[in-house]
Amino acid sequence: MIVIGFDPGETTGICVFEQEGNDAQPIKYDNIKFLELLPWLEDAPKPDVVVIEDFQMLPHKAQALIGSRFETIQAIGMIKSYVHKHRAEQIMQSPIIKKIAEKWTQTPPPKNHKEGHWVDAYNHAMYYMIGHSLAQSALQKQATRK
3-state secondary structure of 102: helix
Q: Residue 115, Cα to own-chain centre: how many angstroms?
A: 14
pLDDT of residue 142: 81
Of all residues in the chain, what percent carry a pLDDT higher than 90? 67
- Kindly report, residue by residue over 89-133, the tens digit of the pLDDT: 999 999 999 999 999 999 988 888 778 899 999 999 999 999 999
* Residue whose C-alpha is closest to residue 6's, from 87, 57, 72: 72
Phi (first) and psi of residue 10, to 5 degrees: -60, -35
* Residue 26 confidence class, pLDDT cut points 50, 70, 90: very high
Lowest mean pLDDT among 54-58, 76-80, 106-110, 130-134: 54-58
* Residue whose C-alpha is closest to residue 125's, from 5, 2, 1, 23: 5
pLDDT of residue 62: 62
What's the mean pLDDT when you consider all of the chain? 90
CB 96 within 8 A of CB 54: no
Q: Is the pLDDT of residue 146 over 70?
A: no
Tell me the whole-structure pTM to 2 decimals: 0.89
Fold of 2-58+66-145: Nucleotidyltransferase; domain 5 (3.30.420)
pLDDT of residue 22: 81
Q: Is the pLDDT of residue 27 over 70?
A: yes
Domain boundaries, the chain: 2-58+66-145
